[in-house]
Structure 1
Amino acid sequence: MTRFDWQSTFDPVLNALDKDGLQDWAELLREQFRRKFDDNPHGDLGRWQDALESLPAVSAASADLTTSAITLDAPTPLSASICEQMEQGLRGLMPWRKGPFRFFGIDIDTEWRSDWKWDRVAPHLSDLSGRQILDVGCGSGYHCWRMYGAGAGRVIGIDPGLLFLFQFLAVKKYLGDVPVDLLPVRMEDLPAGLEAFDTTFSMGVLYHRRSPLDHLLELKGTLRRGGELVLETLVVDGPEGYSLMPEDRYGQMRNVWFLPSCDTLLRWLQRTGFRDARVVDVSVTTTEEQRSTDWMRFNSLQDFLDPEDPSRTIEGYPGPRRATVIATKP
């Protein structure tokens, strides 16, 4: 197996961190990447790398990062053989969970309509122009591209999933040296108290954490003073102080720990030192927003709900409802 050249992949962002006074973080990342890619490489790494490298070069590619699908285009239509090569390479990176994407006329219908989430969140954001942004649990980076399309100065997404990394690199392959990067690390791998970002997003992460308050404190530590937290998580109905802790699985997910009421979530933010916390959206997740597709052929939300009562999960809990909260670090 050809070793993944993580140095050339990540050197631009690591050098940028060095220049921004974040040398300690950059050096920590170099050591983490050495362990991840050199000492203990993932068994599918070679297959994903082959798929990425098989994607054909396209001269003068352009991108539209402001529409529902992240759209890559070329000055002239690609030939049928190049399109076939492109699709084969992209299918080598299945399953595609977060999107949608459009590669030179090839539509990737992802499991999640992540554009719907963006459309709910975007109207409530501060102007992202020039901001340094961290996207925690970014998946394949769909929202990172939308943030950059909204004017962000630099976007760094973090997610430990290596397939997500290669899906992200499939887009970046055609965009060149843009200040958008995905680092395959976990939130707990970041140094405490970075205070390097103007806006930090954590969407779909909090309920996966055994200690939600610790996660909120970690997020707070990434922000500069006056920085904005954008948090989206599963919630349930209930009074302040109430949260649901599943007995085992929730919607067939094992790693779901706490689903608070909205008032409890606001209290958590207040107790962890945020101010001006406000719920800006509450939405039920439907089988139109999350579903199996030709690009993600495994079970999806419809398989995780009670077939007799789709308002509840297959375990009998209230069905998935998500709240978005925005708060400020004093």
Structure 2
Amino acid sequence: MTSIVRSEQALYQTLFALAQHYPIAYEWLKRLPDWLTAVKNKDRYAHAPFYQSVVDKLPPIAPTAVYLDEACVRAEVAFDDSEYRRSRALLANLMPWRKGGFIIGRDDRTIHIDTEWRSDLKWERVLPHISDLTGRRVLDVGGGSGYHGFRMVGAGASTVVVIDPSCLFYHQFMAIRHFLGELGNRFGQSPIHFIPVGLEELPQDTRQAGLFHTVFCMGVLYHRASPFECLAQLKAQLAHGGELVLETLVVAGDENTVLVPQDRYAMMNNVYFLPSVAALTVWLKKAGFVDIRCVDVNITTTDEQRATDWMTYHSLGDFLDSDDNSKTVEGYPRPMRAVMVCKRP
């Protein structure tokens, strides 16, 4: 049985267990076959068969230890020389690696996947300000390769579901999951899963609350043409009293300040709305959230986001004005990110 099949079976088992107490989980189970079939469809994703073959060819080797509470998600693996070379080459075939990093191996046979984003820095900014994740069900929206999801498990979450519609990110997650071995939680189930869908595809039912105690949405809102629709979808996934952790690009200003880039922003062509913190607070109130707090504002540095051997394309340094790095190449304010924490009543 391949590691992808095992992971998908564990996802079915987790959703079935949830459905015994939360009927909305049956809707997830109904849609799951289509979701998992779509990500393997070569007509939709030309590289899907290749990515799957990469994961399937990884050597069947179990870790001697796993660390989910360090800057890099780390699996101690006793590679022999052939396994090390093969694993490194296969993982390189899943480039570019955006979120991480990850360390697999030990001693002189260690693979360090040095990703574009030092995602640990964001996690360190977020973690002190959120509710304790111990025993909580968590949804990570737009979770990329799953780095933050693994850190959520390390922080005590009982069940983490990472969603992202990217075929590449799905297979990157499966590759890392392969080397983490038989993770288990207090229910004897795998504590982390990946569903290759966008937020808008998840079941919602206004007659009942969502499945999750905490929902993370980091680096997503500014990519949505309808931010209020996105906030409503996030709210629908939360249980009553559940917590939303929202991280997004912002600009300086008052409650009426919202930047709408005319074309690209920092070379991204799918950026729609960049509110001020004050405006974003108004948005969250209007969407029905309570106990709204801004817990962090941070200007992104080239130490946190940069090109590496595992992501060789242009990165933040190329997206800033070469004469004034307080601005993007388009003349907008340099990327600044805020973390908002709030609750569903």
TM-score higher than 0.5? yes
2:96 maps to what in 1? 95
Is 1:11 matched up with 2:6?
Answer: no
Which residue of 54, 57, 60 maps to 2:60? 57
Compute the displacement of 1:168 (Å).
Answer: 0.7
State the distance in 2 between where 1:34 and 1:166 align: 13
Answer yes or no: is the 8 Å Cα contact 1:304–1:314 preserved in 2: yes
Deviates more, 1:319-328 or 1:12-21: 12-21
Aligned-partner SS, 1:327: strand
Is 1:46 matched up with 2:52?
Answer: no
The letter of the residue matching 1:320 is P
Unaligned stretches of 5+ residues in structure 2: 20-24, 184-189
CA distances 1:192-229 after superposition (whole Å, capped 9, x unpaired): 23610000000000000011111111100000000000
State the distance in 2 between where 1:8 and 1:82 align: 21
Answer yes or no: is the 8 Å Cα contact 2:223–2:272 preserved in 1: yes
2:202 maps to what in 1? 190
The letter of the residue matching 1:66 is D
Compute the displacement of 1:5 (Å).
Answer: 9.8
Aligned-partner SS, 1:116: helix
Which residue of 174, 190, 215 maps to 1:200? 215
Taking the TM superposition and a 5 Å limit, the aligned residue runs for 1:84-233 are 84-104=85-105, 105-174=110-179, 175-176=181-182, 178-193=190-205, 195-233=210-248
Answer yes or no: is the 8 Å Cα contact 2:137–2:157 preserved in 1: yes
State the distance in 2 between where 1:48 and 1:215 align: 30
State the distance in 2 between where 1:56 and 1:138 align: 26
State the distance in 2 between where 1:41 and 1:176 align: 31
Compute the displacement of 1:155 (Å).
Answer: 0.1
Over the aligned positions, Cα root-mean-square deviation in angstroms equals 1.7
State the distance in 1 between where 2:141 and 2:39 align: 19
Unaligned stretches of 5+ residues in structure 1: none
State the distance in 1 between where 2:192 and 2:200 align: 21
Aligned-partner SS, 1:106: strand
Which residue of 239, 242, 264 maps to 1:249? 264
2:331 maps to what in 1? 316
Is 1:37 matched up with 2:40?
Answer: yes
State the distance in 2 between where 1:250 and 1:290 align: 16
Taking the TM superposition and a 5 Å limit, the aligned residue runs for 1:280-291 are 280-291=295-306
CA distances 1:214-255 after superposition (whole Å, capped 9, x unpaired): 111110000000000000000000111210000010001011
The letter of the residue matching 2:182 is G
The letter of the residue matching 1:220 is K
Compute the displacement of 1:40 (Å).
Answer: 3.7
State the distance in 2 between where 1:39 and 1:81 align: 30
Deviates more, 1:223-232 or 1:30-39: 30-39
The letter of the residue matching 1:312 is K
Identity among equivalent positions (%) equals 45
The letter of the residue matching 2:102 is F
The letter of the residue matching 1:165 is Y
State the distance in 2 between where 1:6 and 1:63 align: 19
State the distance in 2 between where 1:90 and 1:44 align: 15
CA distances 1:54-109 after superposition (whole Å, capped 9, x unpaired): 222223442100000000103xx422222111111111111111001001121111
Compute the displacement of 1:53 (Å).
Answer: 2.1
Which residue of 243, 265, 273 maps to 1:258? 273
State the distance in 2 between where 1:241 and 1:14 align: 45
Answer yes or no: is the 8 Å Cα contact 1:133–1:152 preserved in 2: yes
Aligned-partner SS, 2:97: coil
Compute the displacement of 1:24 (Å).
Answer: 1.5
Answer yes or no: is the 8 Å Cα contact 1:6–1:33 preserved in 2: no
State the distance in 2 between where 1:78 and 1:50 align: 20
Aligned-partner SS, 1:306: coil
Residues 6 and 107 of structure 1, relative CA distance in 2, 3 Å threshold: closer
Compute the displacement of 1:304 (Å).
Answer: 0.7
Answer yes or no: is the 8 Å Cα contact 1:249–1:315 preserved in 2: yes
State the distance in 2 between where 1:267 and 1:52 align: 44
